[in-house]
Chain A
Amino acid sequence: MSEVLKVPTMAEYMAEGKQPEVLFWVGCAGSFDDRAKKITKAFVKLLNKANVDFAVLGTEESCTGDPAKRAGNEFLFQMQAVTNIEVLNAYEIKKIVTTCPHCFNTIKNEYPGLGGQYEVMHHTQFLKSLLSDGRLTIEGGQFKGKRITFHDPCYLGRANNVYEAPRDLIRKLDAELVEMKSCKSRGLCCGAGGAQMFKEPEKGDKDINVERTEQALDTQPEIIAAGCPFCNTMMTDGVKAKEKEASVQVMDIAELIANAEDL
């Protein structure tokens, strides 16, 4: 990478005696998964462009415990949660933004009962607020008129009723937003949730991500937009399974906006 990303850590802020406007919770996928790292960087580019005063925990971040909890390991979840809350509270964090709906849901809904109270935003909500505050502008650019369908992540949509923020952002690209047969509150899962990401599916006659990808392809899209690193993986695999990778791209909303801005 040629350009330099500004990614300050909380420790650096602390050393300077400053407090950032918002903490960017990167998440495990965003930190380690090659595909998801691109989403992380796209989002950071946007934060840099909008001059958002943010920080990450860096090596002090650890799994929220979401996959452990959904797998049934409440012990491990709460151990992770309590440890993370200690770190977050020590830094007096008030506001958190994350590109992962699973981290978003867990920190927003399940940490308060264990002593972690924060304002938590999904990156699509945060980007939308940057736009409405005039801190970031989007011009459609290369996506003008393109057919884009949005796959609702379960833990953003049904779990937390966030349906419009990602769609508003797609509309701002002057793209043609097309909806799948099952969308919003009836959106079909990509197949990764509930710790399924980390295991083989049970016996059946089809993989869930293929079923969902077929629904997406039915809309004749040029791009399948996602808002979750796990959905992104599942849909990308689905597109490959349907041998459509030459004509259909799977991209995170943050990447769409960053690309539109040629960042």
Chain B
Amino acid sequence: MNFIPNIVFATALILGVGYFAKNVKKLIRNIKLGRDKDVSDNKAQRWKNMTMIALGQSKMVKRPIAGILHVIVYVGFVVINIEVLEIIIDGLFGTHRVFSSMGSLYGILIGSFEILAALVFVSVIIFWIRRNVIKLKRFWNSEMTSWPKNDANYILYFEMVLMTLFLVMNATDVHFQAMDSGNLISQYLVPLFNGLSDSTLHIIERSAWWLHILGILVFLNYLYFSKHLHILLAFPNTYYGRVNPKGEFDNLEAVTNEVKMMMDPNVDPFAAPAEGAENTMPEKFGASDVKDLNWVQLLNAYTCTECGRCTSECPANQTGKKLSPRKIMMDTRDRLEEVGKNIDANKGEFIEDGKQLLDNYITREELWACTSCNACVEACPVSIDPLSIIMDMRRYLVMEQSAAPVELNNMMTNIENNGAPWPYNQMDRLNWKNE
């Protein structure tokens, strides 16, 4: 017996899964760089959100064409992966189509995989055309150049190649074709290989088989470097996503404590700080870098697949302003990756690099263009909240830097002085009654 293929297969599998696991660990470490956020509430609602939005794709189909095509690719991806189980068993133990002993059920299974593979192939072609030929506007915004643009196409090519390999593998499998059960699509590819000897067919079949499984392992490892992470992270992201009304912005607890102290006549402003408190730094208000954001916001950034539905619904973006909610998420991820690499390079410790999310990635002009209308949050098919990042960064600008636009400073001074955003006397509040 020749065990070399089995050993090669096992090695490839261990390397492929191992490297992916290593990157998942890094991913989790990076997400945990964010501030803590309690997500233990509303468990039932959270499970429901995940089931409906991630598993059930409920928000994808709000745009029917992209939505239905996406559902096909999604179902295809999940279902065809059952076949990977057989490939792994065959690869490790040197069997061939180990599940074929199931008889007619096997034909039904493979038949449905083949139909899905063909549908996925067609859908992916349509996706490619939408992106590269029709050039839908949301795929061509200014943030969608270089890597983000190529990344999107690489994913589509990967899927085209994997589906083709799967069908070729079936078409050139002489035994499988002889069974004539489940070869619903591949039978039409058989004529392409007419005239080839059985041994040549066998070589093609083996090559397709190997390239298919190696391709899957490469694709698995591509995820971490790509926007395609959403196929995994959509699930936790929809679970941990917003459960409160969209209009409810969190009340900063650190501020609440200070406001309570200011309002409480019993507090002694000259009291010595409580024991141990003198060494605690006062909390930074708002966010100027990724570590000031909470971990759900960082998870959001890794989950974003750059579809651009947020940006296409954004009123500021629609009217030519620089703000693009998608760019907010992409910048957050890019900066987080940069911080992560810094930590890797410096033996687990972050060395100040003179950069931050604010200004180096996200400009003030973008932040001040937001109307807080929640259109981006509503549009996201996987419950990402770009608005919360914008608000946290505005908080930093206003509370740490006093860097609000001058008209807003006037508005705030008015509120402070006379309880209204305009310079009217609070004592005149009821004048309308008699006007």
Kindly identify which residue among B259, B318, B404, B421 contacts A78, using a CB–CB cutoff of 8 Å: B259
Kindly identify which residue among B322, B395, B435 contacts A202, using a CB–CB cutoff of 8 Å: B322
Check A189 for interface membership: any CB of B closer than 8 A.
yes
Whether A185 pairs with B378 at a CB distance below 8 angstroms is: yes
Q: How far does the alpha carbon of A78 sit from the alpha carbon of B416 in the complex, in Å?
A: 11
Whether B429 pairs with A59 at a CB distance below 8 angstroms is: yes
Q: How far does the alpha carbon of A205 sit from the alpha carbon of B322 in the complex, in Å?
A: 10
Interface string of B394-405 (1 = CB under 8 A from A): 111111000011
Whether B244 pairs with A109 at a CB distance below 8 angstroms is: yes
Whether A192 pairs with B368 at a CB distance below 8 angstroms is: no
- We find that the number of chain B residues with CB closer than 8 angstroms to chain A is 70
Greatest chain A CB density within 10 A among B258, B313, B415, B422 is at B415
Q: Which residues of A contact B405 (CB under 8 A)?
A: 199
Q: How far does the alpha carbon of A9 sit from the alpha carbon of B433 in the complex, in Å?
A: 11
Check A80 for interface membership: any CB of B closer than 8 A.
yes
Whether A200 pairs with B246 at a CB distance below 8 angstroms is: no
Nearest Cβ on chain A to B292's Cβ, whole angstroms? 13
Kindly identify which residue among B252, B263, B285, B412 contacts A68, using a CB–CB cutoff of 8 Å: B412
Whether A72 pairs with B286 at a CB distance below 8 angstroms is: yes
Interface string of A38-73 (1 = CB under 8 A from B): 001100000000000000101101110101111111
Interface string of B420-435 (1 = CB under 8 A from A): 1110101111111111
Whether B371 pairs with A113 at a CB distance below 8 angstroms is: no
Whether B259 pairs with A194 at a CB distance below 8 angstroms is: no
Whether A72 pairs with B263 at a CB distance below 8 angstroms is: no
Check A161 for interface membership: any CB of B closer than 8 A.
yes
Whether A31 pairs with B420 at a CB distance below 8 angstroms is: yes
Interface residues on A, range: 35 or more
Whether A71 pairs with B378 at a CB distance below 8 angstroms is: no
Q: Which residues of B contact A198 (CB under 8 A)?
A: 407-408, 410-411, 421
Q: Which residue of chain B has the shortest Cβ distance to A156 in the bound complex?
A: B247
Check B147 for interface membership: any CB of A closer than 8 A.
no
Whether B430 pairs with A73 at a CB distance below 8 angstroms is: no
Kindly identify which residue among A5, A75, A204 contacts B259, using a CB–CB cutoff of 8 Å: A75
Q: Which residue of chain A has the shortest Cβ distance to B387 in the bound complex?
A: A194
Which of A139-147, A206-214, A244-252 makes up part of the contact surface? A206-214
Kindly identify which residue among B248, B377, B432 contacts A31, using a CB–CB cutoff of 8 Å: B432
Q: Which residues of B contact A207 (CB under 8 A)?
A: 319
Q: Which residues of A contact B42 (CB under 8 A)?
A: none
Which residues of chain B in 224-253 are interfacial with respect to chain A, using CB atoms and an 8 Å cutoff? 244-249, 251-252
Check B255 for interface membership: any CB of A closer than 8 A.
yes
Check A105 for interface membership: any CB of B closer than 8 A.
yes
Do A73 and B378 contact each other (CB < 8 Å), given the known contacts A82-B259, A193-B371?
A: no
Kindly identify which residue among B316, B419, B434 contacts A62, using a CB–CB cutoff of 8 Å: B419
Q: Which residues of A contact B394 (CB under 8 A)?
A: 70-72
Q: Which residue of chain A has the shortest Cβ distance to B323 in the bound complex?
A: A202
Q: How far does the alpha carbon of A193 sit from the alpha carbon of B434 in the complex, in Å?
A: 30
Q: Which residue of chain B has the shortest Cβ distance to A189 in the bound complex?
A: B373
Whether B430 pairs with A72 at a CB distance below 8 angstroms is: no
Do A63 and B421 contact each other (CB < 8 Å), given the known contacts A75-B255, A158-B378, A161-B245?
A: yes
Nearest Cβ on chain A to B266's Cβ, whole angstroms? 15
Whether A191 pairs with B371 at a CB distance below 8 angstroms is: yes
Check B221 for interface membership: any CB of A closer than 8 A.
no
Q: Which residues of A contact B259 (CB under 8 A)?
A: 75, 78-79, 82
Nearest Cβ on chain B to A8's Cβ, whole angstroms? 10
Which residues of chain B in 360-415 are interfacial with respect to chain A, using CB atoms and an 8 Å cutoff? 365, 368-375, 377-379, 391, 393-399, 404-405, 407-408, 410-412, 415
Whether B251 pairs with A110 at a CB distance below 8 angstroms is: yes
Do A105 and B247 contact each other (CB < 8 Å), given the known contacts A59-B430, A74-B252?
A: yes
Q: How far does the alpha carbon of A5 sit from the alpha carbon of B259 in the complex, in Å?
A: 38
Check A258 for interface membership: any CB of B closer than 8 A.
no
Q: Which residues of B contact A79 (CB under 8 A)?
A: 259, 262, 416
Check A128 for interface membership: any CB of B closer than 8 A.
no
Whether B411 pairs with A195 at a CB distance below 8 angstroms is: yes
Q: How far does the alpha carbon of A197 sit from the alpha carbon of B410 in the complex, in Å?
A: 12
Whether A211 pairs with B318 at a CB distance below 8 angstroms is: yes
Q: Which residues of B contact A5 (CB under 8 A)?
A: 433
Q: Which residues of B contact A200 (CB under 8 A)?
A: 407
Q: Which residues of B contact A155 (CB under 8 A)?
A: 247
Nearest Cβ on chain B to A258's Cβ, whole angstroms? 15
Kindly identify which residue among B255, B285, B373, B408 contacts A199, using a CB–CB cutoff of 8 Å: B408
Whether B424 pairs with A154 at a CB distance below 8 angstroms is: no
Do A159 and B398 contact each other (CB < 8 Å), given the known contacts A32-B422, A67-B415, A204-B316?
A: no
Q: Which residue of chain B has the shortest Cβ distance to A207 in the bound complex?
A: B319
Whether A160 pairs with B319 at a CB distance below 8 angstroms is: no
Q: Which residues of B contact A1 (CB under 8 A)?
A: 434-435
Nearest Cβ on chain B to A199's Cβ, whole angstroms? 4
Do A113 and B251 contact each other (CB < 8 Å), given the known contacts A76-B412, A154-B373?
A: yes
Check A148 for interface membership: any CB of B closer than 8 A.
no
Check B2 for interface membership: any CB of A closer than 8 A.
no
Interface string of B162-190 (1 = CB under 8 A from A): 00000000000000000000000000000
Nearest Cβ on chain A to B298's Cβ, whole angstroms? 20
Check A175 for interface membership: any CB of B closer than 8 A.
no
Check B256 for interface membership: any CB of A closer than 8 A.
yes
Closest 10 CB pairs of A and B: A159-B247, A72-B394, A194-B372, A62-B419, A205-B320, A204-B320, A189-B373, A109-B248, A72-B398, A105-B247
Binding site for A on B (CB under 8 A): 244-249, 251-252, 255-256, 258-260, 262-263, 285-286, 313, 315-316, 318-323, 365, 368-375, 377-379, 391, 393-399, 404-405, 407-408, 410-412, 415-416, 419-422, 424, 426-435
Binding site for B on A (CB under 8 A): 1, 5, 7, 9, 26, 28, 30-33, 37, 40-41, 56, 58-59, 61-63, 65, 67-76, 78-82, 105, 108-110, 113-114, 154-155, 158-161, 185-186, 188-189, 191-208, 210-212
16 A-B pairs with C-beta separation under 8 A: A32-B429, A65-B415, A72-B286, A72-B404, A74-B286, A75-B258, A80-B415, A110-B249, A154-B375, A158-B375, A159-B374, A186-B378, A188-B375, A189-B375, A202-B322, A202-B365
* Additional A-B contact list (7), CB under 8 Å, known A59-B427, A205-B320: A1-B434, A73-B404, A76-B415, A79-B259, A158-B246, A186-B313, A194-B371
